[in-house]
């Protein structure tokens, strides 16, 4: 049996997806005996792993965040690694994110939303963050833009500190609006969202924010929920395990395994089109704060300084849809989310959203989607 030591942080979705890919490859083998790093509370040593390496004598290593376990990098054991601090580890098969494609995907996404002002928020210390900035900016070179800004911190450990969020808030206040901010990862994007609250900036109406990694718990618990680029860590885990097996059997050599972006998972933080009209922005802000209630077009009009006719005209010219259809779009998306991601009954959901009765709720949903709530939930 081949003994394989896996050192991966499973507290984050990227680590769990990576392990899922490894597990899929393992299903094709019968000769791997896997040892996975225990959770922190079961570890005795201050190291990033807690195995007696000399006793275990593994045949292969799969390591994420290799900087935490430099002693393992120094061994002659076959290994595939990734490192947050240094993308490439000389002479070692390395897992790297495809920062070029990630930056390009972000640029294409924001230009498709109609933005002309762009910004990037990242870390100067990390190569992958710098590469995402470069790719993001380079992808905009042949696009009509008004401005480009970036904010890079040289101390990633300060990302969670209030002082850093205050600094980001001051930077955000100086940016033209509407503007989009591409953050190097979800953690940085959450700091941007918190800084927007400090600066009293509406997201996404004034600033749209996009992260990377799509850690669903982080994204869904942020306020507003964070849009993020999904990376294919599962495929990377499969490829890394497959390559490690070839290294152990001396049938493979040094290799770079690229983690590619899959898609952008859209949530509230980017659910907007770039808008210059302040009255239309006011209308949208009101709708987004109240669409879970049975609001009408006249309620939106009263939140602005315009007549109903003028607001309707300017709203439709800007968003290519009516005020009523925008309210319906958001309410239907909310209903879909509740139907798919909660165990509440259709009657309970109807009550939550202040529909007069379940029949009214079902008619409303069917008119918008062509399906009953029950049919949609069962798909």
- Does residue 117 register a pLDDT over 70? yes
pLDDT for 163 equals: 87
pLDDT for 84 equals: 67
Structural domains for the chain: 2-96+233-261 (3.40.50.2300), 99-230+265-270 (3.40.50.2300), 278-378 (1.10.10.60)
Sign of CA dihedral 329, 330, 331, 333: positive
- Top pLDDT among 211 and 77 is at 211
pLDDT for 219 equals: 97
- What CA–CA distances, in Å, run from 4 to 33, 34, 45, 98, 346? 6, 5, 20, 26, 48
Long-range contacts of 304-309 (CB under 8 A, 24+ apart): 304/279, 305/279, 306/279
Percent of the chain with pLDDT over 90: 50
Determine phi and psi for 211, rounding to 5 degrees.
-110, -170
Mean pLDDT, residues 237-255 taken together: 90
**What is 130-167 written as a DSSP string?**
HHHHHHHHHHTTTS--SEEEEEEES-GGGGGSHHHHHH
Mean pLDDT, residues 77-91 taken together: 75
Angle (deg, nearest 10), helices 323-341 and 278-290: 30
Per-residue pLDDT reduced to its tens digit, 305-350 = 999 999 999 998 887 789 999 899 888 888 887 887 677 899 999 9
Cis-peptide into 47, omega within 30 deg:
no
Mean pLDDT, residues 109-138 taken together: 93
Sign of CA dihedral 262, 263, 267, 270: positive
pLDDT for 159 equals: 61
CB 87 within 8 A of CB 100: no
- Does residue 52 register a pLDDT over 70? no
- Does residue 247 register a pLDDT over 80? yes
pLDDT for 333 equals: 82
Task: Residue 103: name the closest of 64, 125, 130, 142 by CA.
Answer: 130
Mean pLDDT, residues 77-85 taken together: 80
- Does residue 51 register a pLDDT over 90? no
**Which of 44-48, 190-194, 213-217 has the weakest average pLDDT?**
44-48
pLDDT for 39 equals: 63
pLDDT for 320 equals: 77
- Top pLDDT among 340 and 126 is at 126
With cut-offs at 50, 70 and 90, classify the pLDDT of residue 263: confident
pLDDT for 42 equals: 56
- Does residue 56 register a pLDDT over 80? no
pLDDT for 191 equals: 95
Q: How far is the C-alpha of 51 from the C-alpha of 43, rounded, in Å?
A: 9
pLDDT for 230 equals: 93
DSSP category for residue 208 = E
């Amino acid at each position: 049996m081949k003994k394989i030591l896996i050192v991966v942080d499973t507290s984050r979705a990227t680590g769990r997806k990576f392990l899922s890919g490894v597990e899929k490859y393992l299903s094709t083998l019968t000769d791997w005996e896997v040892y996975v790093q225990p959770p922190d509370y079961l570890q005795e040593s201050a190291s990033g792993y807690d195995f007696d390496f000399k006793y275990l004598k593994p045949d292969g290593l799969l390591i994420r965040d290799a900087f935490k376990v430099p002693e393992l990098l120094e061994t002659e054991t076959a290994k595939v690694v990734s490192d947050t601090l240094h993308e490439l580890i000389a002479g070692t098969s390395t897992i790297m994110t495809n920062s070029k494609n990630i930056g390009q995907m972000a640029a294409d996404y924001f230009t498709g939303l109609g933005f002309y002002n762009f910004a990037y928020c990242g870390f100067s210390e990390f190569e992958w963050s710098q590469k995402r900035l470069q790719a993001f900016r380079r992808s905009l070179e042949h696009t009509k833009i008004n401005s480009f800004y970036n904010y890079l911190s040289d101390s990633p450990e300060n990302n969670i500190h209030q002082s850093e969020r205050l600094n980001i808030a001051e930077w955000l206040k100086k940016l033209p609006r509407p503007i989009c901010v591409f953050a190097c990862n979800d953690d940085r994007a959450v700091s941007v969202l918190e800084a927007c609250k400090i600066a009293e900036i509406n997201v996404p109406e004034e600033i749209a924010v996009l992260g990377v990694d799509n850690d669903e718990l982080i994204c869904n618990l942020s306020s507003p929920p964070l849009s993020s680029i999904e990376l294919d860590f599962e495929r990377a885990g499969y490829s890394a395990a497959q390559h490690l097996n070839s290294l152990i059997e001396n049938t493979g050599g040094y290799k770079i395994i690229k983690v590619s972006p899959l898609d952008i998972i859209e949530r509230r933080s980017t659910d907007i089109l770039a808008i210059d009209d302040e009255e239309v922005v006011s209308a949208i802000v009101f709708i987004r704060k109240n669409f879970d209630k049975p609001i009408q077009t006249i309620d939106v009009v009263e939140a602005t300084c315009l007549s109903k006719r003028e607001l309707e005209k300017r709203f439709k010219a800007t968003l290519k849809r009516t005020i009523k259809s925008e309210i319906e779009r958001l309410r239907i998306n909310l209903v879909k989310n509740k139907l798919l991601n909660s165990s509440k009954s259709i009657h309970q959901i109807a009550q939550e959203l202040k529909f007069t009765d379940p029949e009214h709720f079902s008619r409303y949903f069917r008119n918008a989607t062509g399906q009953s709530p029950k049919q949609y939930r069962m798909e």
